[in-house]
Amino acid sequence: MNWQQLNELELDFDNIGQWPRSGKAIVVALVCALLAGAIGYFLITDSLARLDTSKAQEVQLKAIFEEKAQLAGGLPGSKLQLAEQQAELNAQLRKLPNTLEIAGLLDDISFMAADNGLRLERINWEAEKPSEFYTELPMRIIVSGDYHQLGHFVADVAALPRIVIIDSFSLSRAGADQLSMSMLAKTYKYNEQEEK
């Protein structure tokens, strides 16, 4: 049976059983194709949406992986840098006077003043100023002598192996060739309890 003969037949959808075999086959094939298309559309649409989501997630995970791989690649260098910085911190902390050396610091400064021919008029600790990691220990020093003696004294204080900063000073005339210098020197104490 060909298409022309199929067209000449009056196909009645109420009486499909009387249709020729080729007509039934075509209808069954069309129904199967429509069902397959509908089922495929609903199943594949959901799968395509999941595929797009998975692709986007893959891009994000690749970016995270690359970032973590870069960090992991830099880890040995970071560990080395951390060790160097820890050694530098420890070296700087050793320059800060500990509790036992603070009393000796006044003796060292008194000796330097006498060694440079200065008259030590006053040296005493002022109120401590605590901070998060360290405590500032200011001391007021008043000495008198000539200009060169004062210069040598300041240089000797700056050359101390422990950190001592001359924060502020003032000069005034104390005689013909004599100057009086009042200075605020500061040293620092590391707060070990904060570290622990």
Mean pLDDT by 10 residues, the chain (196 residues): 54 68 82 88 83 93 92 85 89 72 80 90 87 85 91 88 82 85 86 54
Whole-angstrom Cα Rg for the chain: 46
The pLDDT value recorded for residue 71 is 85
d(Cα 32, Cα 179) in Å, to the nearest integer?
113
d(Cα 178, Cα 149) in Å, to the nearest integer?
10
Q: Do residues 140 and 184 make contact, with C-beta atoms less than 8 angstroms apart?
A: yes
| Domain boundaries of the chain, sorted by first residue | 1-73, 96-195
The pLDDT value recorded for residue 135 is 84
Supply 66's token pair. Answer: 């690359």
Q: Do residues 183 and 164 make contact, with C-beta atoms less than 8 angstroms apart?
A: no
- Within 8 A by CB and 6+ apart from 188, the residues are 96, 134, 135, 136, 137, 163
Pick the CATH number of 96-195 from 3.30.70.1560, 2.30.110.10, 3.40.50.720, 3.30.70.60: 3.30.70.60
